[in-house]
Amino acid sequence: MTEFVSPGGPLPHIPDDLTLTQFILDSTHERMPIRPQGATWLVEDATGRKVGLEEIRSRVFGFANALNLKWGISEDDVVCIFSQNHIDYPTVIWAVHRLGAILTGANPSYTPEELAYQLSIAKATVLIVHPDALEGALVAAQQVGIPFDRVVPLDTIRGPRSSTVAPDLHQLIAYGLAHPPNFVERRLRPGEGKTKVAFLSFSSGTTGKPKAVEIPHYAPIANIIQMATWWRVNDDAIPWENRRIRLGDIALAVLPFYHIYGLVVNLHFFLFCGMSVVVLPRFDFVKFLESIQRHRATHILMVPPMVVLLCKHPAVNKYDFSHVRMLFCGAAPLSGALTEKVAKLLPNADIGQGYGMTETSTSVSMVPLSQKTGTLGSAGQLIPGVRARVVKVDGTLAKIGESGELYIKTPSLALRYKDNEKATAETFIGDGWIRTGDAVVIDKNNDMFIVDRLKEILKVRGFQVAPAELEGHLLQHPDVADTCVVGVPDDYAGEVPLAYVVLSADAAKRALQSQAEAAKIKATISKHVADHKAPYKRLAGGIEFIDAIPKNPSGKLLRRTLRDKATRRQSQLLNKARL
């Protein structure tokens, strides 16, 4: 039996009787640097406001107390936060955990229908919302029966809505601090951290609509310790100048906190490492460059579309990046050519990639400490505590250098998909193993290369897009008789959705009348998606009419056939453009 293990050696102790909040705010660990008193934990990008540990603890208690006093939020209740990154986003997470409750983060670009779906699946009872997303949040809240007086704005709002929703976060914190404690913080029994749910993070898994991944407190704690061990954080045996992470480093947090990458790595791991985390509300490239320089950031986490801009945007030449010591890329593969370009742009920085999933909460592989620039095309090496099998099509285990589907066993594994036994059984295959749906090769140097996506999920700008979700929505359009959605490569987004559509008989007749009529039909179908789905789910790859969707005898879509067709089509278009 061929089984791959991390070259990083054994893990230190992973506490299984702490919540994530207690681990980050209240405890110590051999891998955790000790910050000096008064050190900055969080920085608000726009204002420069700095927040330290004592203020964080105070605000977390105040909000937790208010949640319990006003709505009785306690053990295993679910609170949803629907917001872009915000300096009080961690306050919400940690307050919810103080109460033994569960946090689910929703993408602020969701339509009301998409948000209502998440609220319904998660069974959320309170909704925390950024003022910019308030109107859509109220529509979704009404759809699922959350009273408006349980919708909490993160900041002060003006106008008629202010009297229909709950007091804002700042008012609730003041309310909670003005009253004696109304709750006793949950203390976990030994081992309970492995089963006590901390997050419901939504992932599309292998197919279909997003599923609620039940992540216990132990999983992100384990992953933080795995990453810290891999990069030898707080290891006195490593000279200061050779450390990838140093106490007092400054990290930008532009990756969204509702996404597992931003939540675990960009927020919790970097705070554990003793960094100051600068919170950016959203990704605006030029403002992002300004923030790097203004805060003299040392560590930047990105996804490939951001790296594309970094390598190609003319504004980059105006900024000084000499203080950047690390750029780490994840969520989707980064090409070797881009890696080389960004390494030249940031000569003082370590450059590398990693691989992970929501279901593994999060990192499985990362660039090793020994490599200043990661092996080109590699997703890094397995981090400590991870075991891997590469399973070939015939079910046998691949050897070094052979391709197959990646199976993972890790202490940071999620528990299951909430209320979805079928999907859980397909992915969480027992004895602590999970099928990733990705085809990989692990070479003799322990580098792992992602060579194909066996599962159907698209990765658009690092976000998961399930073709089945878009197909189900497209079939609601009166002109669509059948459809299949595939991903096509895109320089900026990595890949984007392209819909092959079989028209209804009436629409097919209209399309034959003229190119203008065919274009009009495509426009209405495209608008049907744009009006009801988040921007990254839109059909940026276009719409192609087709006589029939290829299927096997059992009726399963032959998606790969159409994906190959789309690849040939795109290649032909590029060749024409060159001519």
pLDDT band at 467 (very low <50, low <70, confident <90, very high): confident
283 within some domain: yes
Could you report the per-residue pLDDT of 101-149, keeping only the tens digit for each?
A: 999 999 999 999 999 999 999 999 999 999 999 999 999 999 999 999 9
Number of domains into which the chain is organized:
3
Task: Output the pLDDT for position 135.
Answer: 94
Comparison of pLDDT for 296 and 305, the residue scoring more: 296
Q: Among the three residues 187, 219, 235, which one is the final residue of a domain in this structure?
A: 187
Spatial distance between the Cα atoms of 231 and 250, rounded to a whole number of angstroms: 17
| Percentage of the chain exceeding pLDDT 70 | 96
Residues 346, 404: one domain? yes
Q: What CATH number should be reported for the domain holding residue 514?
A: 3.30.300.30
Q: Which of 433, 453, 473 is the last residue of a domain?
A: 453
Question: What is the C-alpha to C-alpha distance for residues 231 and 242, in angstroms, rounded to an integer?
Answer: 11
**Residue 194 maps to a domain:** no
- Is residue 207 pLDDT above 60, yes or no? no
CATH number for position 449: 3.40.50.12780
Q: Please answer whether residues 464 and 331 qualify as being in contact, where contact means their C-beta atoms are separated by less than 8 angstroms.
A: no
Write down the pLDDT at residue 454. 67
- In a domain, residue 530? The reply is yes
Helix or strand holding residue 252 (H, E)? strand 250-253
Together in a domain, 168 and 297 = no
Residue 96 lies in a domain: yes
pLDDT over threshold 70, residue 368: yes
Domain boundary residue, one of 187, 209, 243:
187
Task: Assess if residue 193 is contained within a domain.
Answer: no
Domain of residue 132, CATH code: 3.40.50.980
Angle at 357 between CA 353 and CA 361, to 5 degrees: 105
pTM score of the predicted model: 0.86
Q: Is residue 342 part of a domain?
A: yes
| pLDDT reported for residue 554 | 46
Question: Is 131 found in the same domain as 114?
Answer: yes
Domain that holds residue 98: 52-187
pLDDT grade for 82, boundaries at 50, 70 and 90: very high
CB proximity list for 326: less than 8 A, separation 6 or greater: 244, 245, 298, 299, 300, 349, 350, 351
Beta-strand (E) ranges in 59-133? Answer: 78-82, 102-106, 126-129
Q: What is the arrangement of strands in the sheet containing 350-357, beginning at the earlier edge strand? A: 50-52, 40-44, 276-279, 250-253, 299-302, 326-329, 350-357, 362-366, 381-382
Residue 397 domain flag: yes
In this structure, are 377 and 412 located in the same domain?
Answer: yes
Asked if the structure places residue 503 within a domain, the reply is: yes
First and final C-alpha spacing in the chain: 52
The predicted pLDDT at position 574 comes to 63
Q: Are residues 428 and 308 in the same domain?
A: yes
Give per-residue pLDDT as tens, 16-30.
999 999 999 999 999
Query: Same domain for 255 and 375?
Result: yes
327 and 402, same domain (yes or no): yes
Query: What is the pLDDT, as a whole number, of residue 559?
Result: 80
Which residue has 């964080």 as its token pair? 56
Same domain? For 449 and 462 the reply is no
Q: What is the mean pLDDT of the chain?
A: 92
Whether 437 and 539 share a structural domain: no
Lowest mean pLDDT of 207-211, 225-229, 264-268, 434-438, name the range: 207-211
**Do 335 and 244 belong together in one domain?**
yes
- Using the predicted structure, report yes or no on whether residue 436 has a pLDDT greater than 50: yes
Same domain, 298 and 356: yes
Claim to verify: residue 134 and residue 65 sit in the same structural domain: yes
pLDDT band at 191 (very low <50, low <70, confident <90, very high): very high
Q: Give 550-570 as a DSSP string.
A: -B-TT--B-HHHHHHHHHHHH
